[in-house]
């Protein structure tokens, strides 16, 4: 749920990811990635103690192969599009590259860069929780423990928000994240299907930029706005789920809290 909410905010608020690909993105990143990762984690960790090295190893390996699985599924989705959706002359209507290009392009970058980064970050977070908040991992955390951890997460998010301008150091666009104009530069034309849908929604803060302020300040402010919006929506979602549970446990209650 949390990943899907983040993807929705990225698409609606910042024009990142896109509305027409929202379902595929949710499937890849909110279903395939965590399910594969958690399955591998459970196989490796088994019934070991929550503070054991097996748990940490399962987290690292699971997070690595989870993101690889999501990348391969995305490559499959992109690579099938020229075969399934094309004009009478064979020109692709949407994604322009076939399976022999799309799958290696998605796999190589994730195997070599995104996968190791995912494994390192996830491993460090899990290691920290093992050492400092192991009760949280075993679902035995008290409200006091959860309060302390909330401040840790909030601090980490603020640090990450102020680190987002580092993304400006990278040139170009990630593979398969092209806009219509970028595809025109690459291919010499805009695929008809993408061209028709490119104007469906105009994000208020496209590409994490804010008019009248510089790119660095725009990135930081966009990150803070995104964190605030996602946090509020997840808080509302949590309240709704809790309310539904209370009503289910006590059908005679009106559900008003």
User: Is the pLDDT reported for residue 257 higher than 50?
Assistant: no
**pLDDT tens-digit readout, 13-64:** 998 888 889 999 999 999 999 999 999 999 999 999 999 999 999 999 999 9
Q: What are phi and psi of 86, to 5 degrees?
A: -150, 160
What pLDDT is stored for residue 134 in this prediction?
83
Q: pLDDT digits over 175-232, tens only?
A: 888 878 888 888 999 999 988 888 888 899 988 888 888 889 999 999 999 999 999 9
- Domain boundaries of the chain, sorted by first residue: 20-132+178-200
Lowest-pLDDT range, 75-84, 143-152, 202-211, 235-244?
143-152
What is the dihedral sign for C-alpha 204, 71, 185, 223? Answer: positive
| pLDDT score of 254 | 54
Residue 23: exposure state from Cβ atoms within 10 A (0-12, 13-18, ≥19): exposed
Do 96 and 187 contact (CB within 8 A), yes or no?
yes
Q: Percent of the chain beyond pLDDT 90?
A: 56
Q: Check: CB of residue 67 under 8 Å from CB of residue 122.
A: no
Residue 194 — left, alpha, or beta (φ > 0 → left; ψ -120 to 50 → alpha)? alpha
CA 37 → CA 32, 41, 69, 248, distances in Å? 8, 6, 9, 31
Count the Cβ atoms, other than its own, within 10 Å of residue 103: 19
Q: Look up the pTM and report it.
A: 0.84
Tokens of residue 256, six digits: 């008003």
Fold of 20-132+178-200: Arp2/3 complex 21 kDa subunit ARPC3 (1.10.1760)
pLDDT of residue 251: 72
């Amino acid at each position: 749920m949390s990943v899907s909410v983040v993807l929705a905010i990225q698409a609606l608020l910042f024009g990142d990811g896109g509305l027409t690909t929202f379902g595929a993105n949710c499937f890849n990143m909110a279903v395939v990635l965590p399910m594969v990762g958690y399955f591998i984690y459970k196989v490796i960790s088994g019934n070991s103690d929550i503070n054991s090295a097996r748990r940490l190893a399962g987290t690292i390996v699971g997070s690595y192969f989870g993101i690889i699985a999501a990348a391969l599924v995305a490559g499959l989705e992109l690579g099938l599009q020229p075969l399934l959706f094309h004009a009478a002359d064979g020109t692709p209507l949407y994604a322009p590259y076939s399976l022999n290009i799309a799958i290696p392009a998605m796999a190589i970058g994730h195997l070599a860069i995104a996968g190791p980064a995912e494994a390192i970050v996830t491993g460090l977070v899990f290691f920290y929780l093992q050492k400092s908040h192991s009760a949280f991992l075993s679902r035995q955390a008290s409200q006091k423990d959860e309060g302390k951890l909330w401040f840790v997460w909030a601090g980490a998010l603020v640090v990450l928000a102020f680190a987002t301008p580092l993304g400006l150091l990278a040139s170009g666009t990630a593979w398969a994240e092209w806009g219509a104009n970028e595809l025109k530069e690459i291919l010499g034309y805009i695929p008809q299907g993408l061209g028709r849908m490119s104007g469906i929604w105009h994000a208020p803060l496209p590409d994490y930029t804010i008019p009248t302020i510089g790119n660095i300040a725009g990135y930081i402010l966009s990150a803070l706005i995104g964190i605030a919006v996602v946090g509020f929506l997840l808080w509302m979602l949590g309240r709704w789920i809790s309310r539904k549970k209370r009503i289910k446990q006590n059908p005679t209650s009106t559900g008003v809290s």
